[in-house]
Amino acid sequence: MSPIDRRHFLSQLSLATVAVAAGGFVSRSFDKDGFVEVELAPGKLRGVRHNGVNIFRGVPYGGKVSGDRRFRRPAPVEPWTGVRSSVFGAPSMQPPRHNEPAPAEDCLFLNVWTPANDNRKRPVMFYNHGGGFVIGSGASQSQDGSNLARNFDVVVVQTNHRLGLLGFLYLDEIAGDEYAGSGNMGMLDIVDGLKWVHENIAQFGGDPNNVMIFGESGGGAKTSCLYAMPSAAPYFNKASIESGPGVRMTPKETAAETTALLLRELNIAPKDWRKLLDVPAADLLAIQNKLPSVPPFIDKDNKEKPQPGAGGFGPVVDGKVLPIHPFDPAAPDISKNKPLLVGWNEDEYNFFIWQRKEVDLVKIDFEGLQKKLETFHGADTEKMISTYRKTMPDASAIDVLVAITSIAMMGLGSIDIAEKKVQQNGAPVYLYNFGYKSEKKILDTDYPMGTPHAMDISFKFNNEVPPKDPSQPSESFFGGSKPERFVASHHFAELWTTFARTGKPAAKDVPEWPAYNMKDRPTMRIDTKCEVINNRFKEELAMWKSIRKA
């Protein structure tokens, strides 16, 4: 069969989205102006207390990663004098971000949201932002952690970390021991953030021994990698992989080809690789933007022969930092006893129709659908369409396109992860679909967004809430304006925070969520009314498995 065009999908996604010394607790104080101070080993931090939440922004968890530290492990955090204010830190090099500091090479900052700095040992929810390994930050408005902290009594942490070629350029074979692990610097930054949490989060009211890692899209793939990384294993207890199943990552052979391609673009001989250290970061970003933005998709049915073509930057299976593919051929033994959530949104593909402004797709007929899918799926297209027309008898051609492409992008990998986790006979795994339907329309069409990629972010962070002033208009970017969305958001957030607290997702007015198993294959559909659906997409999945084996 022709492989799913995951490379094209991830390239669109990347364009669209989104060592610290241990410090003992010294002091904390609240003043009448709504500030809170904490003293760590490097110096004092001043947070802002706002609506019942203490917010600490731009906390350094690693030092310099520019200059002679480029492509290497960071320098230690430099101590500071006085009190460091709560201001978002720079995100990694990328195009400028709305309402955030200018991107910069030195970007190792994290943000903390906590109900109180009171040593209460709350569960910690450590979020990995999306953006296809090349864009994004821990300061995006949709993933603000205030409501989760306030409404569900948890501590939320998010990091900025190195992205793109600054975070994932593989130099191990040409640069020597100092640059070992260079293809995974961005992932090791996240591990440093987790280490900071382990050493410091008790001072922010969090429990260092109850940490959940989670992430959406590219952040889901980062979470998959952390689930398989020995250096991360001591610092988290459970995980959630959301609309970003990272089953396989880039083999080091392909990563080496990408490095060679970059050097040719810069007219640098491999023996002169050190010249990379002198290229301005902005120039490296410009070169990165000329190359494919993400690694080529590795066909899981043809593991020994990746698709041709280097280019793209993301985690590298280097045999050391990332010893194995996260979920191929099996779930990683290192996390056997760590509970897992995994799933996807029902209408993922609508995000990309919206983002690429492909208005004509909304009017596609079944003849056009056949031609479009044949580009990616070849001779399997007819069987694919006939299966979906049987299971969706009232669906239009665009409905079928969205259903097929959404499950191909995110669903098949999510189910693959769930099945492999079950086969491990360790901690439970829980499979979900997010299904709340937004009434907002795509572009200038009459076709609703439904449940597109990335819409889950504001819902799971409980940022779909009624405005404090009822006279003010209330509409979210993807979620629309129907008040029912507040219920769906509360369900989503309560399920996730309960999982963070106990390792089992649960919520009031939501049915008991059984762990996934190979007999019933239960899936929780998250909406205003949540329901457990056994063996969901049975006929469709049988079709997918048959064409994968062909």
Catalytic residue among 182, 217, 438, 458: 217
Q: Are 259 and 287 in contact (CB under 8 A)?
A: no
Q: Are 95 and 106 in contact (CB under 8 A)?
A: no
Tokens 């709305």: give the residue. 98
Task: Enter the tokens of residue 442.
Answer: 């795509």
Q: At what angle do helices 397-406 and 366-377 cross, to 10 degrees?
A: 20
Torsion (CA) 236, 241, 244, 245 in degrees, nearest 10: 90
Secondary-structure percent of the chain, ordered helix, strand, coil, rounded to 5: 40, 15, 45
What lies within 8 Å, CB to CB, of 95 at 6+ separation is 103, 135
The radius of gyration computed from the CA coordinates of the chain, to the nearest angstrom, equals: 23
Roughly how many angstroms between the first and final C-alpha of the chain, as a whole number?
Answer: 7
Q: Is 331 helix (H, G, I), strand (E, B) or coil?
A: coil
**Cα 149 off chain centre by:** 20
What lies within 8 Å, CB to CB, of 425 at 6+ separation is none
Can 217 be counted among the known catalytic residues? yes
The DSSP symbol for 289 reads H
Q: Are 194 and 213 in contact (CB under 8 A)?
A: yes
Q: Is 511 helix (H, G, I), strand (E, B) or coil?
A: coil
Amino acid symbol at 471: S
Q: What is the DSSP string of 62-125?
A: S---SGGGTTSPPPPPPP-SSEE---PPPPSSSS--TTSPPP-S---EEEEEES-SS---EEEE
Amino acid symbol at 415: I
Burial class (CB in 10 A: 0-12, 13-18, 19+), 518: exposed
Tokens 């207390």: give the residue. 49
**Cα 227 off chain centre by:** 13
Of 83, 242, 65, nearest to 169 (Cα)? 65
Q: What is the DSSP string of 246-270?
A: ----EEHHHHHHHHHHHHHHTT--G
**Which residues belong to the active site?**
217
